[in-house]
A and B are shown apart, each in its own frame.
Chain A
Amino acid sequence: MAAVALACLNIACRRDMQDQPKYIPLRPSDFFADGRSARPLPEGTVARGQLRADKVFFTGKVGDQFVDRIPFPVTRAVLERGQERFNIYCSPCHGRLGNGLGIIVRRGLKRPPSYHIDRLRQIPVGYFYDVITNGFGAMQDYSAQVAPRDRWAIAAYIRVLQYSQQASINDVPPEHRQDLGGAGTAKPAEAKKPSE
């Protein structure tokens, strides 16, 4: 009995430290009508260092023309980051190859166009940035999920996918040709990498 009583006491007296009257992330609030303790920013708020003055970087446009250059040097690390982000945020619908046959499409979503059609191969790279930022038709925007720098990395990776689907065996350095399995046949060279 004593032990049980002790155990109860133990629980009783630690409650107030367990659930302190403060806001931690995700905790609801009784004070605000919408119950959110994380308050939305008043419109027009600009945090220090987030003025977004670099219009090209943050919109992908000059005036109303899409830029055809990624506004920072594209290194291997950027492309790998782009591949990782693409596989997380885009591949469920667009597929790992960008052919528009991701798993969600197979479950009934509208099929997006393949990235390998001529129109999208010719389009300036800033367009991809813009679609991620603002959405397009049936596709919602991904601005809340993908940070601006990552959007450019994804745009760069889409270009890689596009080149990879048009590549011929002659684009593969000779020392890597036997890595491709059916060496010597005119298989799309890079296709294996993104699809794993």
Chain B
Amino acid sequence: MSQIFYPSTNTFSRLSIFGGIFIVAFLVWAWAELNESTYATRAKVPIQQPVPFSHEHHVGGLGIDCRYCHTSVENSSFANIPPTKTCMNCHSQIWNRAPMLEPVRESFRNDSSIRWIRVHDLPDYVYFNHSIHVAKGVGCTTCHGQVNKMPLMWQENSLQMSWCLDCHRHPERFVRPRSQVFSVNWQPPPNQVDMGRKLVKEYNIQSLTSCSTCHR
């Protein structure tokens, strides 16, 4: 019986062992990349809404403060989406015939809710709280990006655990003076880390990394 494997196949088998490692490594890498990618985290994708509400116009153009609409963000774990009445404060008079705003008027007439589509959505096993972040000098734009440039809202960051922890481990890299929390124009100064260290002391900011901070 003739031989099935010739000596030359040795090279093949060596190659394939070697190659196998690479293939596995590649798959692991590809999986990790995919997990971080905007496809998996749904970041950076503008979300279509029933009314094309533009933060670019209302915040960037008109300079309305976040709290005019998201009134509960300072005192509560969640930031409320404004009720239709808040829109009607202005839109009962401005653009009050625009077809684009018909869903708003209809909602006001019928006392029904506009069904906004959620943009950010943490898994239910994660506890998040806006008020503590706002009170300790973490600005809206640090987490939500330049909302004043968003014609439609999108999620700026991955909202993965590693993203939360990056900041919880090193808050000094991100915190800003309390007076600037709602400012959309604030940019980290060149001496952010020095200033951050001072603020961490001043505001008594702790580095919260125990699991039960967020999983409770």
Determine if A26 and B62 form an interchain contact, defined as CB atoms under 8 angstroms apart.
Answer: no
Cα distance A89–B67 in the bound complex, in angstroms:
8
Determine if B62 and A109 form an interchain contact, defined as CB atoms under 8 angstroms apart.
Answer: no
Determine if B125 is an interface residue (Cβ-Cβ < 8 Å): yes
Determine if A35 is an interface residue (Cβ-Cβ < 8 Å): yes
Determine if B85 and A140 form an interchain contact, defined as CB atoms under 8 angstroms apart.
Answer: yes
27 cross-chain CB contacts under 8 A = A3-B30, A3-B31, A4-B27, A7-B35, A14-B123, A17-B124, A17-B125, A20-B125, A24-B124, A25-B77, A26-B80, A26-B118, A35-B112, A35-B115, A88-B65, A88-B67, A92-B62, A92-B64, A103-B62, A103-B63, A108-B93, A108-B94, A109-B90, A140-B85, A140-B88, A144-B83, A144-B86
Determine if B34 is an interface residue (Cβ-Cβ < 8 Å): yes
Q: Which residues of B contact A (CB under 8 A)?
A: 27-28, 30-31, 34-35, 62-65, 67-68, 71, 77-78, 80-81, 83, 85-86, 88-90, 92-94, 111-113, 115, 118, 123-125
Q: Which residues of B contact A138 (CB under 8 A)?
A: 92-93
Determine if A7 and B68 form an interchain contact, defined as CB atoms under 8 angstroms apart.
Answer: no
Nearest chain B CB to A142's CB is how many angstroms away? 8
Q: Which residues of A contact B (CB under 8 A)?
A: 2-4, 7, 14, 17-20, 22, 24-26, 28, 34-36, 87-89, 92, 103-104, 107-110, 138, 140, 142, 144-145
Determine if A110 and B93 form an interchain contact, defined as CB atoms under 8 angstroms apart.
Answer: yes
Q: Which residues of B contact A140 (CB under 8 A)?
A: 85, 88-89, 92
Residue in contact with A88 in the complex, picked from B28, B68, B77, B78, CB distance below 8 Å: B68
For residue B78, which residue of chain A has the nearest CB?
A25
Instruction: Give 5 A-B pairs besides A104-B90, A144-B83 with Cβ atoms closer than 8 angstroms.
Output: A14-B123, A22-B124, A103-B63, A108-B94, A145-B86
Determine if A36 and B68 form an interchain contact, defined as CB atoms under 8 angstroms apart.
Answer: no
Cα distance A177–B193 in the bound complex, in angstroms:
37
Q: Which residues of B contact A2 (CB under 8 A)?
A: 27
Cα distance A107–B83 in the bound complex, in angstroms:
22
